[in-house]
Chains A and B, each alone.
Chain A
Amino acid sequence: MMIYIQRIAMTELPKEEYILKCTSACAGCSDTLSLRYALKAAGHDTVLVVPACCTSVIQGLYPNTAFNVPVYNVAFASAAAVASGMSAAFRTMGRKTNVICWAGDGGTVDIGIQALSGAFERGADILYICYDNEAYGNTGMQRSGATPLGALTTTTPAGKPVFKKDLDGIVEAHNPPYMATACSAYPKDLFNKVKKALSIEGPKFIHILAPCPPGWRYPADQTIAVGRMAVKTGMWILYEREYGELSVSAPSKAAFRKPVPVGEYLGMQGRFRSIDNGKISLLQQAADKNMESFRKEAECTC
């Protein structure tokens, strides 16, 4: 199902569509929205490596597929390892084919973390993209390590008692040539980041915040609004690092100047309906601290 978003200089983007109009995605899905732009940036010479996640289902049911690039579906824990092997093989053949892991948060931050760390430590020439809807979406919204503090999931009926795992910090510790955060609500920014990543050799990482209507419990037409609010509140910061060197993306620069209280973001989502003030306060403190730390680093005043 295609979703029409507000017009933002779309004329500059390639017209070719790699996601066909027959996916099994939910209405308002960030996964297909993001993938559409990521593939526009990657182009034809691309293979997607997809572990168990919503994308496994979104491709459709055999014998049909809704994706117009080769997709290698793999076991849950193995995406980065498979991609690392595939990339090595292509390079040996002299081919520059883009090998892109397209994985959910579960397959990245939990069961997939070992393979990710190994591939990055080895310097594998892959682009790893994690689209993060902060739960195990494919199996019905159970908690993952990426679920934020206080969020309701089917396995945290009283709200998650611990913070979201700092996946970006973990990846940063591997000192990759390029890493970035993105959000489905900013597709052009995502397009640019994918394009830049694929121009660099070695392990690259992009972490996309992927608001999810059934998982986060908001009406399907609010995906863009929720994503933008995540950035405006500092709950999600858009940035890039090239060999560790930070540049904050424009929407977050604006957010640093005038951040919106996190309550505005939490209030849009049913998964936070029973979060207590204590946890809201902790989330606000964490967002403030994070923004401050990024702001300082960007200004080199640390």
Chain B
Amino acid sequence: MLTVATGNKAVATAVKDSKTRVVAAYPITPQTEIVEEIANTVAAGTLEAEYIPVESEHSAMAACIGASATGIRTFTATSSHGLVYMCEMLHWSAGARLPIVMANANRALAPGWNIGAEHSDSISMRDTGWLQVYVSTVQEAYDATIMAFRIAENNDVLLPVMINLDGFLLTHITQSLETVDTGDYIPPLSLPHAIDIDNPVGYGTLTPFSEHFKFRWDIERGMRDSVPVIVDAEKEFGARFGRKYDLWEKYRFDDAEVIVIAMGTLGKEMEVAVDLLREEGIKAGSLRCRWFRPFVPPDLSGREVVVIDRDYSFGYGGVLANELKAKCGCDPFSVIAGLGGQDVTFDDIAGFVRMRTPGEEHWFGVNGNV
């Protein structure tokens, strides 16, 4: 069905179309429409699921863990402080190898209270073992949520997946949306370690020093094995539903001499900057990072690189820029822009490219730019 919807509505619709069975969630701006829409569809009977209005985000993830452990399809959504409040349970759910899917509305961290888009919330959870994808259109939010269930539940993966949407910029924008009949695109969930009364085992018991690291390696193995699963899921999605996705989305990339790299909505707006720069004679191109975890380094050899980080690791640098530097061997011009909902336009992005200096860091809007 072809219609228009907000990013939040698209996610909630995908949760319904994926036949999710348990949703435990706590409201937080700007995710609330997801939770409310799910409550509506459960009340109306169009989504056959248990909706648990938990009392905090920590409990939301805890309830999802409990539900998912029985082998049932589970979803939650949060943002910002909600995400970091459930931090220990994020570690837990990945370690417990549970295919929970969660939408995160990227929003700045306090103090002060700010409800603008920023990636620091999910970026600060990058070590947890959760897969992370960053989407940039309403359609992609829908598609990625459906693909997330298939990827998470694949028995070579069995890791939770986080879909990141820019707070307000994507959660609240109305764009066109085509929904699909998922059919058997998502196979039935068959969790190998689902609780089985007839085969009782202890979950997450004490592990001795000689064993624990093996479980940690196993998470990493799941992450590595997720790459072909992601690629296959996206290929199959394209074949069935006509929309093709990649780990990194290229725009005018092949003959570009300077590449702009970003995540989320800036990753779409930067394409307009690329077009502008090309008209000026600068051979620009862009690369939008969709899958941040697992991080599959792109080939940037021979190009100049400008990276926009909508996040920061204090005392170190922009996270995306530094991960690219470490894994691709490039020396990016690292721009820190868009924190706390700071407006960044395609004109600004074109400006970053024009002023690029390899290896330098540029804080957009800070006097002297540090």
Contact = CB atoms under 8 A, between A and B. Distances in A.
Interface of A: 52, 56-57, 62, 73, 75-77, 110-111, 113, 136, 138-140, 142-143, 145, 154-158
B113 A73 contact: yes
Interface residues of B, number: 21
A145 B55 CA distance: 8
Contacts of A139: 27-29, 32
Contacts of A145: 55
By secondary structure, the A interface counts as loop
Given A139-B28, A139-B32, A155-B39, A56 B81 contact: no
Contacts of B32: 139-140, 142, 154
Interface string B76-119: 00000100010000000000000000000000001111000000
Given A56-B113, A155-B36, A142 B55 contact: no
Given A142-B32, A142-B35, A158-B43, A113 B55 contact: yes
Interface string B28-53: 11001001100110010000000101
A62 B27 contact: no
B113 A142 contact: no
Contacts of A158: 43
B27 A140 contact: yes
Contacts of B29: 138-140
A157 B40 contact: yes
Given A75-B81, A76-B81, A155-B35, A62 B55 contact: no
14 contacts: A56-B113, A62-B112, A73-B111, A75-B85, A111-B26, A111-B55, A111-B56, A136-B27, A142-B27, A142-B36, A145-B55, A155-B36, A157-B43, A158-B43
B113 to A, nearest CB: 6
A157 B40 CA distance: 6
B314 to A, nearest CB: 18
Nearest to B114: A62
Contact of B53 (A56, A62, A111, A143): A143
Interface of B: 26-29, 32, 35-36, 39-40, 43, 51, 53, 55-57, 81, 85, 110-113
A195 B40 CA distance: 44
Contacts of A56: 113
A80 B85 CA distance: 17
Contact of B39 (A111, A136, A154): A154
A111 B53 CA distance: 12
Contacts of A75: 81, 85, 110
A154 B55 CA distance: 15
Contacts of A77: 56, 85
Contacts of B57: 111
3 closest pairs, A vs B, by CB?
A110-B55, A111-B56, A142-B27
Given A77-B56, A77-B85, A113-B55, A154 B36 contact: yes
A4 B107 CA distance: 38
A110 B56 contact: yes
A52 B114 CA distance: 11
Nearest to B28: A139
Contacts of B110: 73, 75
Interface centre among B27, B53, B85, B112 (most CB of A within 10 A): B27
Contacts of B55: 110-111, 113, 145
Nearest to B111: A73
Contacts of B39: 154-157
A258 B85 CA distance: 47
A110 B57 CA distance: 11
Contacts of A62: 112
Given A136-B27, A155-B51, 20 more contacts: A52-B113, A56-B113, A57-B113, A73-B110, A75-B85, A75-B110, A76-B85, A110-B56, A111-B26, A111-B55, A111-B57, A113-B55, A139-B27, A139-B32, A140-B32, A142-B36, A154-B36, A155-B27, A156-B53, A157-B43
B43 to A, nearest CB: 5
A111 B55 CA distance: 5
Contacts of B111: 73
B112 A73 contact: yes
A56 to B, nearest CB: 6
Contacts of A111: 26, 55-57
A293 to B, nearest CB: 27
Nearest to A155: B39
A148 B29 CA distance: 23
A76 B58 CA distance: 12
A145 to B, nearest CB: 6
A271 to B, nearest CB: 15
Nearest to B36: A154
Nearest to A111: B56
A63 B224 CA distance: 47
A202 to B, nearest CB: 26
A155 B53 contact: yes
B66 to A, nearest CB: 18
Contacts of B43: 157-158
A52 B29 CA distance: 11
Nearest to A109: B55
B85 to A, nearest CB: 7
A56 B36 CA distance: 22
Contacts of A136: 27
